[in-house]
Structure 1
């Protein structure tokens, strides 16, 4: 039998989703007019109506200026068309880069949040392992002697992980680490 979304999702997950959506809406509301303009232009240029407009404009321009056309030719060598297309390409690529820069900033922000959540989760799991190990000791339960358990009990130092990752990247494949 089908469930509605509120029955399926845990309340904390629902709260987190709503918080993320509200944050995105707030960020959209606080954009300046220049960002809104760049977004609108980028959104339109990435759409099929933009392609259709260009097909009609460029197709009409070319047909108008064909040698056999009964209309008076104003761009026989298509120099004006080429110049207009080049200038348009410059501006469109600029708007796309503006949007990509903003998307990259948002991606960096999300990556930072993911790192923080992962570190918090790792810290909590480490604490739980220590707690369960102490409980097992008090209850007289023997552990399996897994060497990984001792490793998992230690806190991860993010700066040490990054240093090691950099070292491994710098050493190259097949070199001693």
Structure 2
């Protein structure tokens, strides 16, 4: 690889790193702007999805059962109705925490999808510009380029509204 090639590869890597850092900073800023209640619920939702939570739950249930089976005066005798009530309440609350976290993740995913769309539209514009420049260079040097339907279509702007309507109608047909 040439020195110039190494330099441009390094520049691209730096640009990618800057872009990633920018996105991470924006996501961290979004996280900091959440209320303390939402931040706590996100942490609970995260912890519930780990093996540590499963292990701690198993340990607590076993300890509860052992404590109440082998004590002379158990506070929750077999079949452990108090434990059942606590676990049912916990299930409802943990489901809510997980759903709150999932909603936040869906919003973040939606933002990323919008960003992807914008980047793809910019990349398409750049590709169209390159195709037009290539056609102009070919015309100047009297070089005949093969005409293909894809090449003709690629030179035109994409009608995002039309594509969105087509996707919506296909989605509506699939759900009907």
User: Which residue of structure 2 lines up, in the alignment, with residue 19 of structure 1?
Assistant: 22
Aligned to 2:101: 99
Q: 1:38 to 1:142 in 2, by over 3 A?
A: same
Aligned length: 165
Q: TM-score, normalised by structure 1?
A: 0.82
The alignment status of 1:59 with 2:28, answered yes or no, reads no
1:121-167 C-alpha deviation (Å, 9 max, x unpaired): 11221121112112211110011122221111111111111223344
TM-score if structure 2 supplies the norm length?
0.82
1:47-126 residue pairs with structure 2 within 5 A?
A: 47-66=50-69, 69-76=70-77, 77-126=79-128
Question: In the aligned structure 2, how far is the partner of 1:7 from the partner of 1:120?
Answer: 22
Select between 123-132 and 23-32 the one with higher mean Cα deviation: 23-32
**Greater RCO (Cα-Cα under 8 Å, separation 6 or more):** 2
SS in 1 for 2:72: coil
Structure 1: any 5+ residue segments left out of the alignment? 1-5, 173-177
Question: Which secondary structure does the structure 2 equivalent of 1:73 belong to?
Answer: coil
* CA-CA distance at 1:9 after TM superposition: 5.4
Q: 1:145 — aligned with what?
A: 147
4+ runs deviating over 6 angstroms:
none
CA distance in structure 2 between the partners assigned to 1:63 and 1:46 by the alignment:
26
- CA distance in structure 1 between the partners assigned to 2:106 and 2:30 by the alignment: 15
Q: How far did 1:22 drift?
A: 1.8
**1:59: Cα distance to partner?**
0.6
Contact 1:75 1:81 in 2 (8 A): yes
1:54-110 Cα offsets, whole Å, 9 max, x none, are: 2222112222333xx353222223111111100011111111111000000000000
Contact 1:64/1:71 (<8 A) preserved: no
More helix by percentage:
2
Aligned mates of 2:65, 2:48 — CA distance in 1: 21
